[in-house]
Structure 1
Amino acid sequence: MVSYGQYIKEIGRGAHGARDLSREDAHQLYAAMLDGGVPDLELGAIILGLRVKGESLDEMLGFLEATDERTHHLDLPHGRGRPVVLPTYNGARKEANLTPLLALLLQRFGVPVLVHGLIEGFGRVTSAHVFRELGVMPAASTNQAQAALDEKGLAFMPLSALCPGIHNLLSLRSRMGVRNSAHSLVKLIDPFRGEAVLVAPATHPDFIELMRNIMLVRGQRGLLLRGTEGEPYANAKRRPRLEHLHDGVTDVLFEAEHESLRALPNLPEATDAASTARWIRRVLDKQIPLPKPIANQLACLLFASGYADDLNQAKAIVAVEATGLLVGGN
């Protein structure tokens, strides 16, 4: 039987006395955690030790390697560009959840979109709730998700179907009362083996830097931003910085807006799933304008996916084709 005391001894000495695990040790440890092989007592100690210490870059890389090995893979669907992956794990509390809007806009352009996340909201409105109101049902298996991508260009896949091991670790929050490494790792999952454009939302500046370094080391393509309540869409009231990561470099496509808007965009009256879905339908039907920050993000993703040759072309396409009217300008 494996002794996990050696790992706990390294990471469990507090914020100042703990030492980081090597990438190889982190890989081995997280593999055991994902496979359910770590007893509850030791598992709790490891989770809390990492929570207090904070994960290093090498630890996160090792954890992700173990997660990749246990994530169901998908084949690249046919489309007008690389598929876009939207991780949706936070849900809406104060703002309406507009992740489904971003997904449906990309689908409209023929860019394949995989959305993965949780169905249960724990008091928040999840993308799954809004998708259900819009007639998009969760895929129960990899085969169903692949078929939806191939036929419709859009699939929502619950984490329990995509990677059961990390879903189990994520679920420990309800027992332990605190987040763990899985909450960060799920936002970096790419079922397309590094061929997709990953939209990576972070909630804190320190983690934006860590996510950027992880993606650069792994050579991932993606769009990095400060998420709206942790969701992967740009805040409709104030655009965050939008960074395009590719080929081991990062380009800032849009800087963050710091000034208050002169006029607030027309947003859903309430945050519940039905109200959000009705508003999304009106945007898609061009009855109300698309908020400028989301239009900017859409342009970034059309460029990053290869749909458009450059950002200026992508911005022009969005302005002309996506909606009848944008809030603000370019």
Structure 2
Amino acid sequence: MTDTASTFACARYIKEIGRGSNGARALSRDDTYTLYEAMLDGRVSDLELGAVLLAYRVKGETSAELAAMLAAAHRSFEPLHVQDGHEHARPVSIPSYNGAHKQPNLTPLLSLMLAREGVLVLIHGVVDDPGRVTSAEIFAELGIPHAASHDEIEDSLVSRRLAFAPVGVLAPKLARLLAIRRVMGVRNSTHTLVKILQPFAEPGLRLVNYTHPEYRESLTGLFTEHPDAAIGGALLARGTEGEAVTDTRRQVQVDWFHDGHAETLISPEHSQPHAPHVELPQLLDAVTTARWIESVMRGDVPVPPAVARQVDVIAEVVRKPAI
């Protein structure tokens, strides 16, 4: 709901970004920050908020605009404080905002395997998404509760080396903008921002995924042109239906952005007809997926090779000394 006592006028911003795919112009970094901060604070009227979200949906965000929005997003919530037992190890954050509807959602498997390797893992995302199987639903079936406060997130990271944080608990202002999708029917800039969020006060490694090639280009520009956005490091790869876990059918390219540099850690390989069969759950529902994950963790079912390689790469990166 808009804070009518301090309504933020958006006409001059909409005039720039709302001219369509060919005529729209990017806002300056300062204007972008100011506008997105007002949106997060609820100071933009519903009419103007819808106009801004649709304008960016058509225009797309430049890397500078994304950097400014991300800075405002980080100022909108209290970051997490965790201490790891390893001198150089960093915690890992995994966004989970898409779930699955064509392939099994293996983000919880990736998370549990990393935690077993001694890595602190935060998964943040939505609790439910009609028509999709969310990580939150699978974690519930695995007996891993959703954190209900920042203290619970931090406590779970210490006790389990793993925590699932609903975005409404981690960053409620961002959650409010995400929820507008159910009213408008389309995603908005916030769906990109939550996938690149740095939730830790002492910066951790982020898994960042994309679904369309143009997002790879914009995110590469963000992390290379705006080093502040990559503090703590980011592993960028094409996800599985929008989830950060690697595709079990092929090995995708993984790029590591850190300290103003970019390194390709895994080169892409295309799916082959003779590729080894990977045993996956036959049904996509949360119960079936959870039972299958438990069987993998027990060693009764082999780990998909692509996921095993992803775990190895992440575990190696988080233990590299930060420059």
Matched, 1:74 2:86: no
Give TM-score, length-normalised by structure 1: 0.91
Q: Which runs of 4+ in 1 moved over 3 A?
A: none
How far did 1:307 drift? 6.9
2:265 to 215, 236, 253: 253
1:240 to 241, 246, 252: 252
More moved, 176-185 vs 207-216: 207-216
For 2:84 and 2:157, how far apart are their aligned partners in 1? 8
| Contact 2:209–2:243 (Cα < 8 Å) also in 1 | yes
Give TM-score, length-normalised by structure 2: 0.92
RMSD: 1.5
1:144/1:182 Cα in 2 relative to 1: closer, same or farther (>3 Å)? same
How far did 1:263 drift? 2.6
Matched, 1:263 2:276: yes
Tell me the alpha carbon deviations over residues 175-215 of structure 1, each in whole angstroms, 9 at most, x when there is no partner.
Answer: 11111001100001111146201000111111112112223
2:51 to 42, 45, 48: 45
1:111 to 111, 119, 131: 119
Could you say what secondary structure the match of 2:244 adopts?
A: coil
Residue 223 of structure 1 corresponds to 235
| Contact 2:9–2:44 (Cα < 8 Å) also in 1 | no
For 1:307 and 1:267, how far apart are their aligned partners in 2? 32
| Contact 2:8–2:38 (Cα < 8 Å) also in 1 | no
Could you say what secondary structure the match of 1:168 adopts?
A: helix
Question: Equivalences for 1:163-182 in 2 at 5 Å?
Answer: 163-182=171-190
How far did 1:3 drift? 2.1
| Contact 1:89–1:230 (Cα < 8 Å) also in 2 | yes
Tell me the alpha carbon deviations over residues 16-51 of structure 1, each in whole angstroms, 9 at most, x when there is no partner.
Answer: 111100111000000000111100010111111111
More moved, 204-213 vs 117-126: 204-213
More moved, 202-211 vs 214-223: 214-223
Could you say what secondary structure the match of 1:86 adopts?
A: strand
Matched, 1:61 2:67: yes
How far did 1:266 drift? 0.7
Question: Equivalences for 1:148-163 in 2 at 5 Å?
Answer: 148-163=156-171
Name the aligned partner's letter for residue 212 of structure 1.
T
For 1:86 and 1:3, how far apart are their aligned partners in 2? 35
Could you say what secondary structure the match of 2:155 adopts?
A: helix
Question: Equivalences for 1:1-330 in 2 at 5 Å?
Answer: 1-80=7-86, 81-193=89-201, 195-216=203-224, 217=226, 218=228, 219-220=230-231, 221-260=233-272, 261-306=274-319
For 2:295 and 2:245, how far apart are their aligned partners in 1? 18
| Contact 2:8–2:43 (Cα < 8 Å) also in 1 | no
How far did 1:165 drift? 1.0
For 2:277 and 2:10, how far apart are their aligned partners in 1? 53
| Contact 1:201–1:231 (Cα < 8 Å) also in 2 | yes
For 2:311 and 2:320, how far apart are their aligned partners in 1? 11
For 2:311 and 2:241, how far apart are their aligned partners in 1? 19
For 2:135 and 2:27, how far apart are their aligned partners in 1? 35
Residue 3 of structure 2 corresponds to none
Name the aligned partner's letter for residue 191 of structure 1.
P
Tell me the alpha carbon deviations over residues 86-126 of structure 1, each in whole angstroms, 9 at most, x when there is no partner.
Answer: 00000010000000001100110111000000001222000
- Which ranges of structure 2 fall in alignment gaps of 5 or more residues? 1-6
| Contact 1:79–1:112 (Cα < 8 Å) also in 2 | no
For 1:214 and 1:267, how far apart are their aligned partners in 2? 35
For 2:221 and 2:126, how far apart are their aligned partners in 1? 26
- Which ranges of structure 1 fall in alignment gaps of 5 or more residues? 309-330
Would you say how many aligned residue pairs link Structure 1 and Structure 2?
309
Could you say what secondary structure the match of 2:123 adopts?
A: strand
